Each structure stands twice: as structure tokens, then as C-alpha cells.
Amino acid sequence: MHSRKSREQYILQSRQHTPKCTIITSMLFDISRQPNPNLSDHYEDSGWVISTDQGWNHYSHGGTQCLHKGLQGNSCTIAVSEGGWTLETSDLRTFPIWTDQIQERITNCVPLDRRIHQFNRISYEQGLNTEYSEPQWYTELERSIRLLDRTEAMDTMCQWLVLRAEQLPDMPIRCAFTGGVDSAVIMSALKYAKRDFTMVNEIAHTKRPNHEYMWGQNKAAGGTFWGYDQLADAGEPHIQATGFWGDEWMQRNPYYVHLYLQQWDRDITQEYDKAGKSYMLGFFNEGYRDKIADLVPEPNPRKSMMQRMTNDFQMWHMDQCLTWTPFCDRETLEISLRLDPDAVIDQCVNAGFSRAMIRRLGNEKMLDVLNVNKNNRIPK
């Protein structure tokens, strides 16, 4: 009999033989007793059917059937044997997971009855098991108010981003320049790392079947899958470099910044009003001014902010396209959540920290072609 332990031993071995690279490579899967006919590939074992998108590797390890997709640091392995299975991801998974009411189905592409939050280990052994295991670095960051020197934070963020760009595998890289500051930072890092990339249209006009299915679930998922309307192509093997999570994890989401600033008794709405016309003002007025005004005070605003941030999923891998979203990473959190309040306010109002990164990466001309207003939303 192949126990959960043997399945986990395979998972560990697969990690050890995965190339060292940080790509946010998530994927589509549906584990159930019946196939999901809307997904393209299906694997059956021990009474389970695993339906997936394309691009998974299928292994047999001592009788344990394993499906693996991704690279070291961001991957998913599903190991099945003797009627049970184990789902293993990295510390910070980049996709939501739902289960149904009877807990006989797990998926990341259909919004079911219950959502399983970040940091839960998931397995099935005579029933569904979820075990919350918060990593130590996250716990320490939640309790930490030690601030970084702004120059140190800038240098560290740029060095880390360039390193990740250098580590990308030898595949075509495509980047959609939206006129926004996040994609500009990503392209500046690629250029600094001397990585070739091609500019592409940001909107997918023709979606492949798995892509179309995922996008069709967007409304039911409460808009969680909105990023898939900006996935240019999933048919040809390539990397799509994106600025997803740039607002949320780089201190430009006004709601998260509102919670962050409470440690210093600062008010982001007052800061916008003092600043006057700014890059982010239209975005703030349309989506956040009233929302923040109606908020009930949080007993632990930093804890609430971090829980929301780490369960804010936007874009993951599809078929042959690997989506590189380096802002969604542990290093980003550990830097951005230790910035001083004035730096955070400037970032949230003017994208000041991100603009400084572009200059630091030697691509100052890119600043001339940025949109005047975030998402072209003119302040009213």
C-alpha cells in the first residue's frame, strides 16, 4: 500500500530535480470522481479523475501516480494512490482552491461551496483533510514593524527583480505594455537583465478551449478570473511577463494601504486630498474613497491586510503559457510591508517607489510614455 508518506516523498523528490527558477506557474485542475468535460486532459486512478489544462507532466513513482506542473518555488504536484491523494504547492500559491459541499471535489477553476484559504495543506485519505500551516516568515512579518531604509529597500527590490529575470528559462518572452507603471517596471527589469522580449496586444481576442472555459467562470467567481481577459495567447510555449499584483503587493491598493497606515495613525484619504491631482487620484475616487469611508475599524489591521493580500488571486498559468508575475512573491511582501509610511503614501498616490525603480534600472525614458492617470481614469 502506498501511504500519504510515500506520496509526499515523491513530491519532495520532484522538487529536488526541478530547475532553479522563480516563475509563477499555476495551472488548471479539477479533482473529482467524474471528469470535468470542459478541461482538455484527464487522468484516472484509484477512483479519482484529475482533469487539467495542457502542459502537465505525468509520472509513476512506486505505484503512486503523480501529475506535476511548474518550477521550483512555484509549482503544483498531485500524487494519487490507494484511493487517496495529496495536493502540494509552494508556500505562496497563486491560485484559489474550492471544494464542494460533500468535500469530494477540489478545483481551482470552478467556484464551489467552500473556498480553502492560503497556507492550508490539502489531502484526501478517507475524507478531505485541510491543515493550516502558516510559514514562520509570514508570522514574523505580521508581527514586525521594523522599517527598512528606503534606499536599501529600493536596491534590494531591484536586485531581486533582475535576478528573477535572469533566471527565466530560455523561452520566448512576451510583455503587454498597458501604459501602466507595473508593466513598465517589469520591462525595465528584463531590459536590465539583457533578456529579449516582444511587445504584444494585452487582450486575447481568440481564446483556446481551456482559456474560454476559465474566462466563462469569471462572473460566477466574483471577478476572480478577470486577468484571463489579458492573457494574449496560450497555445504556443512562451512566458508572458505581467505586472499583476503590482497594486496589491506594491503598496498601491488604497484599501490595503489604509490598513497599513493605521499603525502610524495616518489616513490615506486625507493624504489624497492634500496631494491634489495625482497619478492614482481617479482610481482612488472611483473605487476606494467611499469604500474606505464606510469601513468598520479593524481590531488588527495589519493581520487583516495580510490575510486579504495573500488570498488575492489574479492570474496563473494556462496551457503552454507560463505567466511571470514577480510582484506576487515573498520578497515583495517582506520589502513593501516594511516601507516607511511616507514612502508608502507617495507610492499609493504617485507610484513614487515604482517610478524610482524604473530610474534605478536605467530605463528613465519609459517614464515619458506612462499613462498620466492610473488605468486612464481621469479624476472627477
pLDDT value, residue 377: 66
Q: Which of 280, 314, 272 is nearest to 181 (CA)?
A: 280
- pLDDT, tens digit, 9 for 90 and up, residues 184-237: 999 999 999 999 999 886 665 567 777 777 777 777 777 777 777 776 666 678
Residue ranges of the chain with pLDDT lower than 70?
1-26, 70-74, 201-206, 231-235, 377-380
Runs of H (alpha helix) within 174-329: 181-192, 209-216, 246-249, 254-261, 268-275, 281-287, 289-293, 301-310
pLDDT value, residue 204: 56
pLDDT value, residue 219: 74
Calpha distance 293→289 (Å, rounded): 6
What secondary structure does DSSP assign to 32-77, as a single string?
A: ESS--TTSSEEEEETTEEEEE-S--EEEEETTEEEEEEEETTEEEE
- pLDDT, tens digit, 9 for 90 and up, residues 138-157: 999 999 778 999 999 999 99
332 contacts 256 by C-beta, under 8 angstroms: no
In single-letter form, the type of residue at position 283 comes to F
**Residue 200 is placed in which grid cell?**
504584444
Cα 107 to Cα 31, 50, 59, 270: the distances in Å are 6, 10, 21, 42
Query: Which positions ≥6 away from 9 have C-beta within 8 Å?
Result: none
pLDDT value, residue 135: 93
pLDDT value, residue 227: 72
Query: Which positions ≥6 away from 173 have C-beta within 8 Å?
Result: 190, 195, 196, 197, 198, 238, 239, 240, 241, 324
Residue 297 DSSP label: P
Residue found by looking up cell 491560485 in the block? 95
Q: Which of 55, 36, 8 is nearest to 235 (CA)?
A: 55
